[in-house]
Structure 1
Amino acid sequence: MAKSTNSRRRGGRILQFAVLGVALLSGLVIASVFLLTERIADNIVRIPAFDSPAAGVRPPDTAALTVLLIGDDTRVEPSAQGDAVLLVHLSPDRGRATIVALPDDSWVEIPGRGAGTIASAYSEDDPSPLIGAVEQLTAVHIDHVVTVDFARFGPVVDATHGIDVPRGGGHLDGAAALVYVRPQSDADLGRAERQQDVLRAVFGELASPATLTDLPAYYELLEQLSRSLRMDTTLSDGNLRSVALMAAFRRPGVMSLVAPVANRERYGTQSVAHLDPVRSAELWTALRSDATADYAALHPQDLLDAASG
């Protein structure tokens, strides 16, 4: 009887210590994320993305959060246009995320300019024409803009101790990743698709348990990543901290889709993609109503892996 009572007491103490350990670990993670975002936010260049609104009426704001993510490669000179153009849409409860890749040569209407490729709407100093073009195309409200400078992405990849990219030949360090995102010919896999592969691998490492439990490695990765980012001025440090905490404690289910292309043609020397009007309309409706899983079930060919491989 006494032995049984002692066992229960020891079990109770072990449970108490376990709960205390989890609480302390959670507190350390929260405190670390707070301090990291305070320091790292200073490295991020802020851009006035919404100070000169694009022409026309913007779609209404909703409880969902949508970020326009732009890949930019300034290895030779400041880029005149974006490469990867991605919509990152988080559901209102932040439990799910959908990433929609827009082909950089998609032919769209650019407010105040007329028709052109979606990538040509981007300017490093003023992304508002691109915001207007995407909002006009999708009727999805853009909350924030983030650009990633791939010319500075080598140290980011090295901070992860390398990433696994099957289409890139396996495990890549920073130098190999930069070679991978820069195809040597138009017949090769497009730069935007390659940038998406690298981004997915890096952000996968950022949210992995191995990285999250190694705070020095986590700090180094965030430090290097912050030096390659530009964000709009409306994305506050508090919101940035909330996103970091969400990544630390609950990685949302992520679905990656490619906007459907009906056909491609050449305008002079320029190749452009015309999006499928029917399926695109379905996709934008599904995105606005957080029903992209239903869309993917009907159109599995538009899933990123299916579309790219």
Structure 2
Amino acid sequence: MTHSATTEPRPDRRAPSSGGRRPHRGKRRWGRIVLLSLLVLVLAAGGIGYWLYSGLDGNIKGVDIDKAIGDDRPEKLPTSGQNVLILGSDSRAGANAALDKAKVSGARSDTALVMHIPEGRQKAVAISIPRDTLVTRPECTRTDGTKVSSARRVMFNSIYSQVGPACVVKTVEQMSGVRMDHYVEIDFSGFKGLVDAIGGVTVTVDQDIHDSSSGLDLTAGTHRLDGTQALQFVRTRHGIGDGSDLGRIGLQQQFMIALLSEIKKQDLLGSPAKTYKIADELTAALTTDSDLASLTKLADFGRSLNGVDPSTMETIMLPVAYDKVDPNRVVAAQPQASQLWKAVRSDAAIPESAKKSPATGG
């Protein structure tokens, strides 16, 4: 979610990581998980004293997007609607490196969603941006203050590791003309402690998984995973399917659904100590924009989404077509992509014509 994205094996045209319907369905589930995560925080906040959960503010890492990007940004929506850029990342730093048999370092982000919450906050639309999309990266500033020049035909998921999250936000805003009101990043590695805090997560696999790279060794059937096994599970790629990122993404989404189901089973209101532990681990896995970087603000934002039913969320993949120069990469398809972003900018219903993606035959 570590080698730079540009050094990973290039996907096969027959099953591009950006175009198939499997990741499209999976990202819909992943978007629902983000909504459920926010609602879990709201529930957790009600189960412990204010003085305790306010002390968790320091766990949530904040990124000052406004400062990093400056004033060169699209206008906010003309309504009370909101747009949130959500990234799923996987850090290989620190103690987590010991669990990585491949001995790679750094962090990457292979899951990117623009979650559009229209005025009224009664529904949500998640727009997935394929990781292999070629985009123009604007001039950006790294966290150390160094400038990175604009570049054309950059693979989308390379921007996070090479320049940082603020540049991902700026890239999405410039390619779409849509202002991102908030940024939320969820670190899969950060869930290791959370899994141990809730006593493990139960998953069922329909085939044996033996992956020497991640260290995961499971037989087909139902298993109760501890934190270390859970981290191996979400990192497994070579032990499932054809060894591509599609199989790993599917496992990550399966795990996240199982994790949220497990949290919902916990007696959050009846066990303040356990609730605090769960909230502590969950907030430690989050990075947000500075406007959401406190538990109180994040819980308030989660409460504002109470009317959104995750099961009714609509997911749209950014319409893409195979690149004419490199058929293993995709580019935004026109005029569909422009129609899609125009509808989001005006907080209007997205026309069916804007949902058709030539790369998937949809």
**TM-score with structure 1 length normalisation?**
0.69
Q: Distance in 2 between matches of 1:201 and 1:65?
A: 28
Q: Report the equivalent of 1:252.
A: 308
Tell me the SS of whatever aligns to 1:220.
helix
1:242 matched to 2:311? The reply is no
More deviation in 56-65 or 42-51? 56-65
Change (3 A) 1:277 1:301: closer
Please state how far the C-alpha of 1:239 moved relative to its aligned partner: 2.1
Deviations 1:80-103 (A, max 9, x none): x42211223333333323322211
Q: Report the equivalent of 1:178.
A: 231
> Which letter maps to 2:68?
S
- Larger RCO (CA within 8 A; separation ≥ 6): 2
Q: Report the equivalent of 1:120.
A: 158
Contact 1:83 1:119 in 2 (8 A): yes
> Which letter maps to 1:88?
M
1:104 matched to 2:150? The reply is no
- Structure whose CA Rg is larger: 1
Gaps of 5+ in 2: 1-41, 93-103, 140-149, 208-220
| CA-atom RMSD in angstroms | 4.0
Contact 2:118 2:124 in 1 (8 A): yes
Change (3 A) 1:170 1:91: farther
Please state how far the C-alpha of 1:191 moved relative to its aligned partner: 4.6
> Which letter maps to 2:344?
L
Q: Distance in 2 between matches of 1:243 and 1:165?
A: 33
Q: Report the equivalent of 2:172.
A: 134
Find 2:244's aligned residue among 166, 175, 187: 187
Find 2:278's aligned residue among 215, 221, 243: 221
Change (3 A) 1:221 1:41: same
Change (3 A) 1:251 1:102: same
Contact 2:321 2:357 in 1 (8 A): no
Q: Distance in 2 between matches of 1:179 and 1:57?
A: 39
Q: Distance in 1 between matches of 2:300 and 2:281?
A: 20
> Which letter maps to 2:106?
P
1:65 matched to 2:82? The reply is yes
1:84 matched to 2:111? The reply is yes
Deviations 1:233-257 (A, max 9, x none): 222534213034456xx36223152
Change (3 A) 1:133 1:51: same
Contact 2:88 2:185 in 1 (8 A): yes
- How many residue pairs align between the two structures? 272
Q: Distance in 1 between matches of 2:304 and 2:49?
A: 10
> Which letter maps to 2:85?
L
Q: Report the equivalent of 2:331.
A: 274
Q: Distance in 2 between matches of 1:28 and 1:152?
A: 18
Please state how far the C-alpha of 1:281 moved relative to its aligned partner: 3.0
Q: Distance in 1 between matches of 2:253 and 2:201?
A: 16
Higher helix share: 1
Please state how far the C-alpha of 1:178 moved relative to its aligned partner: 2.4
1:284 matched to 2:323? The reply is no
1:155 matched to 2:182? The reply is no
Q: Distance in 2 between matches of 1:233 and 1:67?
A: 13
